[in-house]
Amino acid sequence: MPLTRRKFLIAGLELGVAGSCLSPALAANRAVASSSGERSLVVLQLTGANDGLNTVVPHRQHEYQRARPTLALPASTLHRLDDDHGLHESAAGLAELYAEGALAIVHGVGCPDPDRSHFRSMAIWHSAQLDAAQAETGWVGRLADRIDRATETEMPSLHIGAEALPLAMRGRRWFAPTLRDPNGLQLTSLSTRHAECRASALERPHSEPASREELAFLREAARTSYATAERMQGLASRADSVAYPTHELARKLRLVARLLGGGFGTRVYYVTHDGYDTHARQAPAHAALLSELSGALHAFQRDLAAMGRDREVLVLVFSEFGRRVEENGSRGTDHGAGAPVFLVGSGVRGGMHGVAPDLSRLVDGDLRVDVDFRSIYAAIERHWFGVESHHGVAPMANLFA
Amino acid sequence: MTQALERWRPARGEFDRAAAAHLLGRAGLGISRQQLERAVVNGLDATLDALFEEPEHDPTLLTSIDLLLGTGSIESLQAWWMALMLGGRAPLRERLTLFWHDHFATAWDKVRDTRLMHRQNALFRKHGSGDFRVLLREVARDPAMLVWLDGNSNRKGHANENFAREVMELFALGIGNYSERDVSEAARAFTGWGVDGRRFRFAAADHDGGEKNLFGKVGRWDGDRALELILAQPVCARHVCRSLLQEYGGSAPTAAEVEPLAAELVRNDWNIAPVLRTILSSRWFFAPERRACRIAGPVELVVRVQARLELSLAPARAAAACESMGQALFRPPSVKGWDGGRAWINAGTWLARHEYMVELAREAARDERAEAMARELASEHAVECGSLAPVEAMATILTSPQFHLA
Amino acid sequence: MDSCIARGPARGLFWACVVGILHATAPAAAPPTTTGERPLAALFPAHTAVFISMDGLADLLRAGDAHPAWKAFENSALGKVARPLLEERLDEGLSRLREYAGTDWRATFSALVEHGAALGIARSSEQPGWAMVLRSRDEATLEAARLKAFEALGKQVGMPKLRDLPPATVRGARVWQLGPDFALAVRGDHLVAGNVREYVDEIVANLANPGALGLLVEPALAEAWAEDGGAADMFVWADRERTTLYEQGESARGELEAQERAARDPSATLLLGPALGLTPAARSYSARLSFAEEDPRLTLRAHEVPIDAELLSRPAAASRLERSPADLLHATLHRDFAALLARRTTLFDPEHLAGMAKGISDLSLFFMGKDLVEEVLPAVSSGWTLVSRPIDWGVVARPQQELPAIAAMVDLANPDRDGPQFVAAFQSLVSILNVERAQQGEDAMVLELALEGSTQLSCAHFVTPPPGEPVDMRYNLAPAIARVGPTLVLATHSSLARQLVRELAGAAGRATTSSTGAESADDIALDELRLDGPGLARVIAANTDALVANAMLSEGKPEAVARQEFEVLRLISEFVQSARFDLRRAGTDTELRIELDLPSPALGAVR
C-alpha cells in the first residue's frame, strides 16, 4: 500500500514531543505553488504587555500629561495619525504604513474580564477561551487544522523562534513545528557527489521483506525532509530586495517573507518579540522596542510588495494586555487592561477601528476593554480566510478591504 | 516452554553473524565487531550467559556523577548515563534500564532535582532484572516519582488521583483494565505517601484509613496492599510481558505469545531476567520478520554507531544530539514516555539525525582504516557509494534509511 | 655544474628537488658589512606582518642547562613532571641539529646567532612567506657552518657536490635557491634564509643599503629599540591587518572587520575596561620577554588603540585594602561605568543599543526607577577593588565542591545619601530571584541582617540542608552587601564580606595605597591584578575530582588523561608563585605588563 502524504503527516502528529520539530512537508519533486490569491497570516506577539497608550498616543487629552508626568510623550515628537492621535516617534515605519492605508489600529481590545497575570492572560489570548486553565489547543492551531482541510496545503503553520511552541499554535490534527534558526533548516552536503548518492540511496530497491513498510516510511521522511530543507535554504538565501534591520525580529520576518514569496506553502506563521514588560524606566526601553518592531514590519511590507504578495498577507500584532494609565514611581507602568491591536497589510482597511481610548472613562484606572479580542480572531477566520469561526462572538466588521 | 516462544536450538552454523548481530543489538544497545565475532564463535547459549552475567560498569565512571550532582546540571546527568551506555560494559543492564526509564517515565522538567533523578535511575539499574514486584514497590515510593505524579500532595479528603491512575493505566495494568472507581479507591489507599526533603515519608495523619473497594475486594487497604492487589490482577503480568515483548521483539505481540510468558513470569516469582532470556532465546525472536523491523531510537542509534565505527564519542555531545533527535534522557515528553517507532521520525528529527551522522562520519573518516570500514558498511547495508571519498561514503551510509532500522 | 643540475635529486627529505639558479657567476668578494649597530628590524621590509627577534639566544644556548630559569624549572615539581615530556619532543629536533651542525651544535649555533637572530613573516608575491636573519660572530664562522650544512644536506639528497654549488650574486650577497621553497643568502657575517625568494631578496637589498630603515618605520619598533636597545631577550611585533591577511590575502578582509566589531562589543568594554576591551582594534601589537634576570617579565603592548582620551583621563584607581596573604586574587580596576554608558551611542554599534537599553531598564527596576546612567552610576567612584579568597566555612555547611568567594569594593561619592539605595537594590534583587526560583520549583534564599562590629550587613543564603543530605554547589553562594564608611562591599559569600568589613574598619584613617609606576599625563596606571599561584593550585587540587569527572563526561577523555592535564595545570599554578598583571596607558598605546614570580633558582645568575 503506497504511503500517502496524509499518512506521513499524521505519523508526524503522533509525536508528543514537547520540544518541537519540523513536521513532514513537501513531496519530493512537487513544486509547491501556493496559488496567488491564497491568503496568509503572520501572528506577531509582543510579550510582556506593550504600553498601548504610549504607542498610539491620545495627546489631546490633558489627563494623559497629568497621569504621566515623566512618561508622557510631547505631541510634537509624535507621527500624526489623526487630529487626536499620534504614533510614538520611534515608529516611523508604522506611521508610513498607516499613511498608505496598510495599518489598521483597533483600539480598546482585551479580555472581557481582564486578568493581570501575564501567564493567565496570555493563555486566554492563545486559547481564545476565557477559562484557559485546562486549554490544550490554541486558536491558531485550530485555524491551521481547518485551513489544511480546506485547501490541501502541506505545512499549514510554522513557529519561528527559540521559545517553546506557544499554546496558540497547538492544534488537534496538526503539530506545528518550531524553527529555531531564522536562517532556515540545516542540511549539510559534503559535496555534490555526496548529495547525489544520498538521494539515490533513497531510491534503490530493497529486498528485506520484513522492513519494507518501515523502510518506505523512512525513505519518504528523508525525501521530504531534504526537499523541505533545500527549499527553505534556497528561499532563505535569496538576495534581499529590501534592506532589513539586523535584529532578530527582522530576521524572523525576513524568513517569513522569503517563504511566503517563494510559495513555500505554509500560510500561518507565529513569531514573538519580547521585552515589553516595562515596570521601570520605560522610556528608553520602549523606544528601542518600538523602533525594532516598526523597522521590521516596514521592511517586511516593502519586501512583500516587491514580490507582489502584499495584498495576501496579514500581520496581527497583539499583546496580552495594556498598561495602566498612571505611571508608577519607577518611571514605568504596571499591568493594565485595554490596548490597541494592529493589523498590517495591504489587504486591511487602514485607519482607526474600535473605540478610541477615553482617559476620562477609565475602569479602575485602566483603559476600557471595548472590543473582545475574539471578535478580531473571528474576523480573521471568517472574513480573511473564509472559514468558519466558533468563538461565540460576532466577527468585527470592516477590518479588511 | 510454550509453543509460541519455543526455544531455538540452532544447528551448527545457524547462529551466524546475522543472528548474533540481531541478538546483541536487541539485548544491548550496540555491537562492536569483536563482540560479534566472539558471539558467533561461542554460540547462542554461551552468548546469552555472558549477557546475563551482570558485568559491572567502570566504577570510576559510575561514581563520577556523584561530584557533579551538586551542580544541579541535568546535562551532566544526561552525559553520565550516556557515558555508561557508550562504555559498553553492561549492555543488557543498560538497555533494560532505558526500558524501565521509558516505562516509568519521569521528567526532570517537573522534578527539578538531579539527585532525585539519579536515584531513580539507580533504582532501575538495581532492580530492573529482578523481581518486578519489588521494582514496582520501590518506584511507587521513589521521591522523584512522587513529585512527578503529585503523589506528594495526596491527602485524606483531597485525594489526588494522578498517581493511582498512572500506576494502573501505564505501569501495571494497561488502559481499560480497571474501573474509575478502582482509581479513586487506590488514590485513597495512597494518601499519606509523600516526600520530605529528598526522602519518602508516610504521614499517618494524612492517610485515609477507611474501607476501600479495590477490584471488588474490600478492606482498609494502604498503599502497599493496593499495590499487591494490582499485582494480583492477571492482566498485570500480561501487561508487563507485552511491554517486554514489544521492546525486545520489535513488534506488537499476540495473545498467544503474551499469555504463556505471563504465566512464566509469575512462576518465576516475577523475576524479569529469566523471562527476558526466554524471549531472547526463542524462535519467535529470531524470526526474519523480527529482524531490523523497527526504527532505532536516538540513543540506540548513537550507541550502535559508536560501537560499529569504533569511535570514541564525547558523552555530553552525544546526549545533546539525542535530545535534538527527540530523546532527551531524563526528560521524556510525558508520563507515557517516548512513543517510539515511526514517532521518532519527522522532518526535524530526521534532519537532526542527518546532521549528527555527518558529524560522526567526519570523525570516523579520520581513522586510517576508514576506507575499509566504509566498504564493509556499504555492503552490509546495501548502499551504493562507488567513487565517494571515505567521509562521503560514511555520511551516505549512516544517513541511509536502512541504517536506521534496528 | 650543469650536469649536477640536469641530473636532479634522487631522494629528498625536505627539499623535493634541487634547482640550480640562473647562471654561475663567480661570487664577487663582498665588501665587509658594517652591521654592528643596526637593529635587525631595519633589514626586514616595511610590509612585514610579524617580526620576532631573539637577541639573547646566544647566551641562552651557551648557558644551556645552567641558565637560572631553566634550573629553577628543573627543580620544581612542575619541571620534574614536564621535563621527560619535553625531552621527547626536543630529542627529535636536537638530533636533526646535530646532523647539520655537528656534535658541538650548541657552540656552533651560539656563534651563528652571536650578534642577533630574527624571524619575519610577510605576505610576499601573493604567498605567505617567512624569512630569518642570523648575525654571526664573523664571516669565517658563518662560511664554515654553511659549508658543513651544505655537505650534510648534499648527503641527504644524494648530491655530494652540493657544497660546491655556485650561488647567484644579488647586491653583494651570495644566494642559493635550494628547491622552490627555500632560498639562502650570505653576506659577510649575515645569513638570510626564507621560503619566498622575493622576500629574501628584499632583506638582502636592505642589507646592502646601510641607510635602509626597513621595519623601523614602524613607530612601535623604533621606540622599542630606542628604549632598551634590544635588552629584551625576545621581542615580538605584529601588525594586525597584515597578520590577518597573511594566509589568504584580501579574502580575509571580512575577518579584519570582525575584529573591529569585536572591539566594539559592549560587554568586552564594560568588563575589561576600554583600554583592554578595545585592543582588538589596535593597529599593531608587541611583546617583550626578558628572562636574563631572576624573574621573567613579559610586557605586551597594543599600539594605537582607538580609545577616546576622555574616557581615561581620571586618576588611577587606588586599592582600598592592603593585599593579604589569603588573597587568591587582588585587583584594582579603573572602570568608569557612568562615563562609558553615557557615551554608549557613540561607543557601541546600534544593534547592541537596544539590548543595552533593555538591560539598563531592567536594572533600574532595582533602584526604584532612578536613571541608572545619570543618577546611580555616577554616585559610584571609578576605582574598584576585587578580592577573592577561599571561603571560611566556620560552622556553615560545607558543599562537596568548594569554590572561592569574590568581593568587589568601591567608594561612594556621597555614602550616607546613596548607600541605602544600594543595599535596597541588593534586597530587591534577591527577592526577585526568589520569585523566579519559586516558579521553577527551586528553593529560595533567606534575607537577613547581620552585624559585624558596628557595621550592618545584608546577607542572603539558602536554607541549611537537613543533616545527612549532601550540600550542593549552590551553597558556595551566600551574597552579602555592607557599607563601611565610604566603601561599599559586595561579596558572593558573607564570610568574605565580614572579613573585609573588619579589615576596612581597622584600616579607616589609614592612607590608601596607590598604584606603582611613574605617572604622567601620558602614562596612566589603569588596572592591576595579582594572582596567587599556590592558592589557585590548592583550589584546583580541591576540585580536581569534579573537574576530571566533568572532563570525562563532557569530552569523553579517559580518566588518566584528564587527571594528568589537571595535574599539570595545578603544577603550573604552583610553580608561578604569583603573577602580576599591570595595565597602563601610554599615549595611544595600551601596555599590559606581566611579571611572573618563579621559585628562586638553585644557582646564582649566569651573568
Q: Which amino acid is at C229?
A: G
Q: Is pLDDT larger for residue A23 or for residue B276?
A: B276
Q: What does the pLDDT read at residue C469?
A: 83
Angle at C568 between CA C94 and CA C297, to 5 degrees: 70
Q: Sort out which chain B residues have CB atoms less than 8 A from C470's CB and list them.
A: 69-70, 115
Share of chain B above pLDDT 70, in %: 99
pLDDT at C511: 46
Mutate which of C552, C557, C559, C563 to disrupt the B interface (most B C-beta within 10 Å)? C552
The cell for B346 is 519527522
Determine contact, residues B308/B37, Cβ cutoff 8 Å: no
- Burial, B22: exposed, middle or buried (Cβ in 10 Å; 0-12, 13-18, 19+)? buried
**Pure H helices in A49-201:** 62-67, 92-100, 118-127, 139-151, 192-200
A370-379, B239-248, B349-358: lowest mean pLDDT where? B349-358
Termini Cα distance of chain C: 49
Place of cell 480598546: A108
Closest residue of C to A119, CA-based?
Answer: C439
User: Least CA distance to A22: which residue of chain B?
Assistant: B348
B234 domain-assigned: no
* B128 min Cα distance to partner chain A (Å): 26
pLDDT higher at A243 or C17: A243
Q: Which of B291, B294, B350, B391 to mutate against chain A (most A CBs within 10 Å)?
A: B350
- Quick one: cell of C359? 538591560
Chain C residues whose CB is inside 8 A of the A278 CB are 361
Cβ contact C354–A330 (<8 Å): no
Average pLDDT over chain B, rounded to an integer: 92
| Residue showing cell 533548516 | A185
Q: Which residue has the higher pLDDT, B31 or C297?
A: B31
Q: Are A277 and A324 in contact (CB under 8 A)?
A: no
A interface mutation test: which of B345, B384, B387, B398 has the most A CBs within 10 A? B345
What's residue A122's pLDDT?
92
Q: Do A330 and C364 touch (CB under 8 A)?
A: yes
C-alpha–C-alpha distance, residues C470 and A245, integer Å: 51
CA distances from A90 to A71, A287, A289, A356, C157 (A): 14, 6, 9, 21, 74
Whose cell is 497583539? That residue is A318
Which contiguous run of DSSP H or E holds residue A57? strand A56-57
Helices (H), C102-138: 105-112
In angstroms, the CA B57 to CA B87 distance is: 8
Query: Which chain C residue shows the shortest CA-CA distance from B316?
Result: C554
Rounded CA separation A338/C528 (Å): 55
Banded model confidence at residue C404, pLDDT cuts 50, 70, 90: very high
Q: Are B316 and B296 in contact (CB under 8 A)?
A: no
Cα B257 → chain centroid:
20
Q: Identify each DSSP E strand in A144-205 by its residue range.
A: 157-160, 178-179
Is C173 within 8 Å of C208 (Cβ atoms)? yes
Cα distance between residue A379 and residue A400, in whole Å: 9
State how far residue C428 is from chain A, nearest Cα, in angstroms.
Answer: 13
| Candidate from B60, B67, B314 with C-beta closest to C555 | B314
Query: Are C550 and B312 inside 8 Å of each other by CB?
Result: no
d(CA B185, CA B176) in angstroms, rounded, equals 16
Identity of the residue numbered A26: L
| Chain C residues whose beta carbon lies within 8 Å of the beta carbon of residue B150 | none
* Distance between C355 CA and the closest CA of chain A, angstroms: 8
Average pLDDT, chain C: 80
Residue C568 has pLDDT above 80, yes or no: yes
Which among B383, B392, B404 has the least Cβ separation from residue A218? B404
Contact by Cβ (8 Å): C488, C504: no
Look up residue C311 and give its amino acid.
Answer: L
Task: Tell whether B306 is covered by a domain.
Answer: yes
How high is the pLDDT of residue C507?
73
Q: Is the dihedral of CA B231, B236, B241, B243 positive or negative?
A: negative
CB-based contact B68 C556, cutoff 8 Å: no
Interface test with C, best of A247, A281, A290, A294 (most C CBs within 10 A): A281
Contact criterion met (CB below 8 Å) for C175 and C184: yes
Judge contact between A342 and A60, C-beta under 8 A.
Answer: no
Q: How far is A273 from chain C (nearest CA, A)?
A: 13
- Whether residue A197 and residue B382 make contact (CB cut-off 8 A), yes or no, is no
Write the residue in C469, C546, C554 that is nearest to B79 by C-beta: C554
Asked whether the predicted pLDDT for residue B347 surpasses 80, the reply is no
Q: What is the β-pairing status of strands A371-372 and A178-179?
A: unpaired
What pLDDT is attached to residue C37? 66
**Residue C428: which H helix or E strand, with range?**
helix C415-439
Enumerate the residues of chain B whose CB falls inside 8 A of the CB of residue A17: 326, 333
Cell of C42: 631595519
* Contact status of C441 with chain B (Cβ, < 8 Å): yes
How many Cβ atoms from other residues are within 10 Å of residue A113's Cβ? Answer: 9
Question: Do the beta carbons of residue A21 and residue B347 sit within 8 Å?
Answer: yes
Q: Which three cell numbers stand for residue A76?
A: 510634537
* Domains of chain A, earliest start first: 5-385 (3.40.720)
Query: How many beta carbons lie within 10 A of that of residue B213, not counting itself?
Result: 12
Q: Distance (Å, rounded) from C-alpha B277 to C-alpha B275?
A: 5
Dihedral sign, Cα of residue A234, residue A235, residue A238, residue A244: negative
Res B270: pLDDT:
97
Give yes or no for C552 touching B (CB within 8 A).
Answer: yes
- As a whole number of angstroms, the distance between CA B10 and CA B26 comes to 18
Amino acid at B81: W
Q: Which residues of B touch C474 (CB under 8 A)?
A: 72
- Binned at pLDDT 50, 70 and 90, residue C604 comes out as very low
What is the pLDDT confidence band of residue C228, given thresholds at 50, 70 and 90?
A: low
Q: Which chains touch B (3 or more CB pairs under 8 A)?
A: A, C
Q: Is C421 on the interface with A (CB under 8 A)?
A: no
pLDDT at A133: 72
C230 near C53, Cβ under 8 Å? Answer: yes
Between CA C381 and CA C412 the distance in angstroms is 6
Residue with grid cell 497608550, as numbered in its chain: A53
The pLDDT of residue C321: 82
d(Cα C235, Cα B81) in Å, to the nearest integer?
A: 50
CA distances from C24 to A42, B171, C150, C166, C175 (A): 79, 93, 17, 6, 11
Q: Which residue in chain A has the smallest CA separation from B387?
A: A193
| Interface A:C, Cβ pairs < 8 A | 50
User: Residues 6 or more apart from A354 whose CB is under 8 A from it?
Assistant: A105, A106, A107, A108, A109, A340, A370, A371, A396
What is the spatial distance between Cα B315 and Cα B82, in angstroms, rounded to a whole number?
Answer: 6
> Given pLDDT bands bounded at 50, 70 and 90, which one contains residue C324?
confident
Q: Which amino acid is at B150?
A: D
Which residue range forms the structural domain that includes residue B396? 298-404
User: A22 contacts in B (CB within 8 Å)?
Assistant: 346-348, 351
**Are the C-beta atoms of residues A21 and A248 closer than 8 Å to each other?**
no
Query: Are A292 and C354 an interchain contact pair (Cβ–Cβ within 8 Å)?
Result: yes
**pLDDT for residue C253:** 84
Phi, psi angles (nearest 5°) of residue A190? -70, -30
- Lowest pLDDT segment from A13-17, B100-104, C245-249, C404-408: A13-17
Written as tens digits, the pLDDT of chain A (401 aa) is: 333 333 333 333 322 222 233 333 333 222 333 344 589 999 999 999 999 999 999 999 999 999 999 999 999 999 999 999 999 999 999 999 999 999 999 999 999 988 888 888 999 999 999 987 778 889 999 998 887 555 444 678 899 988 878 999 988 776 677 788 887 788 888 888 888 888 888 887 766 666 788 888 899 889 888 888 888 888 888 888 899 998 899 999 999 999 998 888 889 999 999 989 888 889 988 999 999 999 999 999 999 999 999 999 999 999 999 999 999 888 889 999 999 999 999 999 999 999 999 999 999 889 999 999 999 999 999 999 989 888 889 999 999 98
If you measure CA to CA, which chain A residue comes closest to C368?
Answer: A330
Q: What is the number of helices (H) and of strands (E) in chain C?
A: 18, 20
> Does residue C482 have a pLDDT over 50?
yes
Question: Which is more confidently placed, C294 or B289?
Answer: B289
Please write the tens of the pLDDT for every residue from C38-75: 888 899 999 999 999 887 777 777 777 777 667 777 77
Which chain B residue's Cα is nearest to A14?
Answer: B343
Q: How large is the average pLDDT for residues C396-414?
A: 90
Cβ pair A198:B396 closer than 8 A: yes
Q: Which other chains touch chain A, taking contact as 3+ CB pairs less than 8 Å apart?
A: B, C
pLDDT of residue C318: 67
Please give the span between the terminal C-alpha atoms of chain A, in angstroms, as a whole number: 47
Cβ contacts of residue C234 below 8 Å, gap of 6+? C52, C53, C54, C55, C56, C287, C288, C289, C290
Instruction: Give the DSSP H/E element, type plus range, for residue C429.
Output: helix C415-439
Residues in CB range of C194: below 8 A, 6 or more apart: C129, C130, C131, C132, C182, C183, C200, C203
Question: Chain B contact for C553, CB < 8 A?
Answer: yes
Per-domain residue ranges of chain C: 2-217, 318-514
Chain A hits for B400, CB-CB cut-off 8 Å, are 198, 201-202
Take residue A241 and report the three cell numbers written for it.
530586495
**Neighbouring-strand partners of residue C332:** C385, C528
Residues from chain C that touch B115, judged by Cβ atoms under 8 A, are 470
Distance from C-alpha of B302 to C-alpha of B326, rounded to nearest angstrom: 13
How distant is the Cα of A227 from the closest Cα of chain B, in angstroms?
A: 10
The confidence score (pLDDT) of residue B109 equals 87
Q: Structurally, how many domains does chain B consist of?
A: 1
Task: Write the CB contacts of A175 (distance below 8 Å, at least 6 apart in sequence).
Answer: A12, A13, A15, A20, A23
Of C353, C354, C361, the CB nearest to A281: C361
Backbone angles phi, psi at B345, to 5 degrees: -115, 120
The vertex-B100 CA angle with B95 and B104, nearest 5°, equals 155
Distance CA C338, CA C360 (A): 12
Q: Which residue of C has its CA nearest to B62?
A: C549
CA distance C540 to C403: 10
